[in-house]
Structure 1
Amino acid sequence: MTYDIDKIRAEFPILSRQVNGKPLVYLDNGASAQKPQVVIDAVTQAYSMEYANVHRGLHYLSNLATEKYEGVRGTIARFLGVKNEDEIVFTSGATEGINLVAYGWAMPRLEAGDEIVLTIAEHHANIVPWHFLRERQGVVLKWVEVDAKGDLDPQAMIEAMGPKTRLVAMSHMSNVLGTVFDVKPVIEAAHAHGIPVLVDGSQAAVHMPLNLDDLGADFYAVTGHKLYGPSGSGAIHIKADRMAEMRPFIGGGDMIREVHRDRVIYNDPPMKFEAGTPGIVQQIGLGVALDYMMGVGMENIAAHEKRLCDYARARLDGLNWLNVQGTSARKGAIFSFTLEGAAHAHDISTVLDKKGVAVRAGQHCTGPLMAHLGLNATCRASFGMYNTEAEVDVLIEALELCHELFA
């Protein structure tokens, strides 16, 4: 299939605008991706002509909204390579999904001295919920570091597991280094010792085809706003046997079957974990976004981004005053960097913005990784399905200006 980048770009209306008098070059996809017109239209249609609350109504609009909303569960399952759509729990994003596991699965069964194994490259969303357990229940966090290239040795993860390990929590793809971690051997080794594994798929799900039934993680979280869908949308895949071990996280609404003065009967999973009025329109928009991505083809998106990554890598490597974090052969199209000298990441991003180039600057919600790298902050250029080699060239020109200003 020919990857028609011009057609794809035309379907994202924001890419036609200018910023500071320059064509927008949007390279902040790792934080949040832009939305295609089909998603914008679906959200508008849902709010303007089809909106009602789901599940409890018997009128036309409620039935229509329920049908569209619940249909997204199957879409997410297909996108993630999951046969049983009842293993898909709707969330507001990966953060809620990970917290659901922390409160619903880990908190009732972990005790003082029990261990959770993490990588040093985790996003705060996959760190702070485990710190809650450390603070409140005496759980021990064990950290596995990446090497100088940004690679994570699966064997190091395996060796970190011990008789007190109760959970392994790790990213599939680093949001700073761009490294795609080899999670499957870790999952297999953990399962051989009866240890469940949670994978943060917030970045990986955007850039590569997934088959979670084959991967085998017990919990796999994704977030909609990075998947070209609305903010406030997302899901977590939870294996059915793990669902059976979990208590509800939030009470109210559709997670209830019966309520009495002296007892409450919960709904069956996945609705057992979906309390209150949900993000109806957000999830509908996410379903459209995933259909859009699958229509383009995840293999095609991955191939396009691989070409883009190789081109960007070669161009950035030619700047001998630029320090790129993460040089793994398994690197995806995420580039975090600093300039030699005193230029702060915020100053660099401000100059780039004047040229219409949007990048992220800061710690990227990865405090332990930044400390491991010995850095206060980096700039991050993260690419998506609509970015081009010409935009890489604009980034390079803007970086050369930064070098002239700050050298």
Structure 2
Amino acid sequence: MNRGKKKDVYAESLELHRKHQGKIEIHSKVPVTNRRELSLAYTPGVASVCREIYRDKDLAYKYTMKANTIAIISDGSRVLSLGNIGGYAAIPVMEGKALLFKKLAGIDAFPICFENYHTEFADDIKNIAPVFGGIALEDIAAPKCFELEESLQGIGIPVMHDDQHGTSVVVLAALLNACKVTKKRFEDLNIVICGAGAAGFAITRMLKCIGYDPNLCSSVNDIIVCDTGGIIHRHREGLYANKYKFIIGAETNLTERTGTLAEAMKGADVCIGVSVPGIITASMVRSMNKDPIIFALAHPVPEILPGDALQAGAAIVGTGRSDFPNQINYALAFPGIFRGALDVCATRISDEMKVAAAHALAGYVRRPQKDRILPQILNRNVVTAVAKAVSEAAVASGCARQIE
């Protein structure tokens, strides 16, 4: 029965996209119905605006779409759980994200997809930055996504890879509230993360406070990260070839455990899956500590279905999907984070802004329940709450820009 419903969703989605030829379009903010209106919107009147911005380029925030516009950039190398499907095939996902930006946060977002996965396109992004108030990197495979984001941090506008930081923000928020429900202490948690790509790396860093000021957020007791080679530990052969996995190996798995995912999950309090469908079994869940927390975030098909995890003894189960309770999806984070950043014309997105977003998300659910640890994605009030927290954190961390 469930399979039939999935086929219906996929078929209906295909028909919707065919009917509308995509999901977004551009509208004019001003009328152009006569020569006078044309002279104001275009030549000759627009020359005065150009002169002002030439005098002070920050005035682009005041006189152009820059203040409310971001670019959604992808090379299609890691789209959903579909893998490296390329820039053309990534367009529907980027359009969908642009739609959410507009509907939830009132932000104008443009999908910009590069086709060649092997092309270095950091300079191309830098060259289009004048038009945009922020850059959302999306569906770019690791380790390229890390290197790209790092190389763009000094361009004067916020650049955030959502698969990393949007996901880590929402996972932190979900885990804080899951602890309230299960009465577990956040600082005592032993966590297994299944997947060492973009999301797995960022979640590990945030939950373990790697690179974060410990005054901003608490650290869990320990994390064991697993990839296709099993448990990552500091002595694993070949680890030095990947500096990001080396960081994981050096900062986690304090007892230096080795073995498979199944062995890693024995005695764990939490398992966070950001990998591939079906990799977590019921027996693995049963091997965990009492009342385990399972976040199975592979999509569209999770690492384990919620019903199977609950039947195996899980206390709380979250997935990335909207048709199950406890949707843990970065769509809860990125609209508010970018809304807050744009509201203060931020120069970057600081750690303080990310942590503030997580606590705003968690705090929005005043009485979390087993089947409701996070708010609904389509609740615009959530965006407002996150944006306010992010804006305040941007000012406090020195990332806000003053425009005359």
Fold shared per TM-score above 0.5: no
Query: Which structure shows the higher strand fraction?
Result: 1
Classify the TM-score, shorter chain: under 0.3
TM-score by length of 2: 0.26
